[in-house]
Chains A and B, each alone.
Chain A
C-alpha cells in the first residue's frame, strides 16, 4: 500500500509548520507546538529531547497520528493526516506505526503472547497466523520461552521487550518510543537501546522521545524541543556524559 513512498525513499515523516494549540481562545490557552518542521527518512534513528512541558509528547502524538494539528501539515509515509477521520487514522496507526510507552501498557490478564498478538486482531488476520507471527516477534526480542507468562511475572526489561514485540507485530515502518527506558535500570535500558539500533538496521524508522542525553546519544540525529519549537541539538552527542 505504500509502494510509491518506498520506491521514492523520500522522508517517511515530514511535517511543515506544525502548530498545536490547546484550549484556543480561552485563558487556559497553551501553544504546545509553534511551527515544527521535521523530515525523517526511512531507516533513521532519531531522538527528540526536551524538558517536560516542551511539547515533545505532543509532537510524538502528532507523528503517531493520535492527534491532528491545529495548523500546518504532516505527511506520514505520503498520507496527509489532516484529511483523515478517527477511523482512518486508526487504520493508519495499525498499518504504519508501532508505539512503545514508558509504562509498557501491557494488558495484565493476557499472556505475553496474547499481548503481542493483540493489535493484529484489528487487522483481519487469522488467529493461527497471528499466533505464529506473535511467536516470531517474541523470538526476535529474545523472549520466546516466556510466551505464556503474564506481564506481572516478567521483569521490567522483559515487559518492555514484550511491548516492543507488540509494536512490531504489524511490521510498521515507524516505531515511536516515549521514554522507553525511563522505568528501567541502566543496564536493561542499554539492552533496549541496542534492540532499537538493530531495528534501525532492519530498515525501521525509530523515533525516540527522551529527556536523557545519554539515551539520546544512541540515535543518529538528535533534536531538541524548547517551548514548542524544534531545533537540531546544540550539544553534540556524548558531550554531557
Chain B
C-alpha cells in the first residue's frame, strides 16, 4: 500500500468518527500549546538573565582591599583597609597581558547641590578604563580627557538619575554643581543603564577622575599615598577569566609580600560565579515548566493510545476482512499508525498555532519575558510526531498481529 493510499484510508477512518478524533486531538493540542508557551517563557527568562550577565560584565574581576580589624577584634568589611594602590593597578596592566582593561577606583557618598536642588548620591573616582569595564556610555558632553585625569581637574560626569533630579529637562553640561563644598563643572552625562542585577539604581551616581576624588572628596581620612579601594579588571576573552584571576592573585601576593600560608590582604570577586548561581535557578525553573508541558503531552499521547486501542477492537472485523482479501500485517500496522500520526500531527499543527498565540499573549499582557523562535516551534512539531509514533505503535502492532480467522469470527 503506497503512502497516499495509506493516508487516504486513515483520513477516511478518522472522518467516520470525527468527534472522537477531534477530542483525541485536543489532548495533543493542549500538550503542544503548553510546550510552546512553557518553553518560550523558560527561554525568555534565560535570555533576561543572559542580558543581565552581560550588563554586569561577565568578563570582569573586582579586587577589593583587605578587611580591617576594628576595636575589640571585630572584622570590618572587605576594602576597609587600603591595601591596594594605583601601583598595583599599573603592575597588573603591565604584567598580565590577558587583562584588557584595568581601572582603580575610590568611592564614597556625598551631597550634590545645584542651585536650590540637592541630591544625596554615590561618587566614583575612576581611571579611564572604568567606563569600558562597566559599559558606561556618554549621553551628552565629552568624556574626561588626559588632562582631567592627570591634573585632578574638578570635572564631573553625572549619572542619569542625578541629572534628572537636579536639572530636570535642562542640559547639565557646562553647569556647575557642588559635591559637598567643592564646586565641579559638569562635562558630560551618562546614558541610563536602569536597574542593576540586584535591584539598585545604577544611574544614581556621579563620576570624577581618580586623583580628583583622592584630593577633593575622600575627606578628612588620611589615605596612604596612591591608595585605592577597588581595582576592576576586564578580560579580553571569557575563557581567560579564571587564568587571569590566578595570575592577578599571584602577582598581588608577591607585590604585597604575603608569605605562603598567610591570608590574602585583598579579595578577588568573580561576578560570573555569582551569576552562575542565578542562571542555575532559572534553568531549574525552565526545566520544571518543560516537565509540566511534557506531562500534559504524555497525557494527550495516552489519549491517542486509548482511542486507537478502542478503534482496533471496534474494527476487528474490518481488520479481519482486509487481511482476508490480502492485506499483510505490515499494511494493517501502517494504516493504524497513520491514523494515530494524523491525530497527533493535526493536533500538533493546531497546538502550535494556539501556543504561538498564547506565547504572544503572555508577552503582551503577562509579566513574564517570552522568547519565541523557530527552534521552539520545531521542537513542538517534533514532539507531536514523536507522540503519534510512540503512542500509536502499540495499538497498530496489536492490530497487525490479529489472527484473521479470529478477527472475522468476532461480531
| Chain A residues close to B by CB (< 8 Å) | 61, 64, 66-67, 86-87, 90-91, 93-95, 98-99, 101, 105, 107, 109, 118-119, 121-124, 127, 166-167, 170
Contact = CB atoms under 8 A, between A and B. Distances in A.
B324 A122 contact: no
Nearest to A107: B318
Nearest to A99: B324
Interface string B1-40: 1100100010010001000000000000000000000000
B321 A66 contact: no
Given A61-B405, A109-B16, A121 B5 contact: yes
Interface of B: 1-2, 5, 9, 12, 16, 317-318, 321-331, 404-405, 408
A66 B406 CA distance: 10
A170 B327 CA distance: 13
Nearest to B16: A109
Contacts of B322: 118, 122
B328 to A, nearest CB: 4
A227 B340 CA distance: 45
B318 A122 contact: no
A121 B328 contact: no
Contact of B326 (A61, A105, A107, A170): A170
Nearest to B332: A90
Contacts of A66: 323-324, 404-405
Contacts of B317: 105
Contacts of B325: 93-94, 98-99, 118-119, 122, 166-167
Q: Lowest 9 A-B CB distances belong to which pairs? A: A94-B326, A90-B328, A119-B325, A87-B328, A93-B326, A105-B321, A122-B326, A122-B327, A121-B5
Contacts of B326: 90-91, 93-95, 119, 122-123, 170
A90 to B, nearest CB: 4
A64 B328 CA distance: 14
B321 A122 contact: no
Contacts of B328: 86-87, 90-91, 122
A21 to B, nearest CB: 15
Given A90-B326, A127-B5, 7 more contacts: A87-B330, A93-B325, A101-B408, A119-B325, A122-B327, A123-B326, A167-B325
Contact of A105 (B1, B327, B330, B408): B408
Contacts of B9: 121
Contacts of A61: 405
B270 to A, nearest CB: 65
A109 B168 CA distance: 79
Nearest to A61: B405
Contacts of B2: 124
Contacts of A167: 325
A122 B332 CA distance: 10
Contacts of B323: 66, 90
6 contacts: A90-B327, A91-B328, A93-B325, A95-B326, A99-B324, A122-B322
Contacts of B12: 109
B1 A64 contact: no
B173 to A, nearest CB: 81
A87 B329 contact: yes
A114 to B, nearest CB: 9
Nearest to B6: A121
A90 B332 CA distance: 11
Contacts of A95: 326
Contact of A121 (B1, B16, B321, B408): B1
A109 B18 CA distance: 13
Contacts of A122: 1, 322, 325-328, 331
Contacts of A127: 5
A240 to B, nearest CB: 29
A218 B323 CA distance: 30
Contacts of B404: 66
A110 to B, nearest CB: 8
A93 B330 contact: no
B324 A64 contact: yes
Nearest to A105: B321
Most chain A beta-carbon contacts within 10 A, residue among B317, B327, B328: B328
A239 B1 CA distance: 49
Nearest to A123: B326
A67 B405 contact: yes
Nearest to A127: B5
Most chain B beta-carbon contacts within 10 A, residue among A86, A98, A127: A86
Nearest to A124: B2
A61 B405 CA distance: 7
B165 to A, nearest CB: 78
Contacts of A99: 324-325
A99 B325 CA distance: 7
Nearest to B9: A121
A86 B327 CA distance: 10
A64 B323 CA distance: 11
A66 B318 CA distance: 15
Contacts of A118: 322, 325
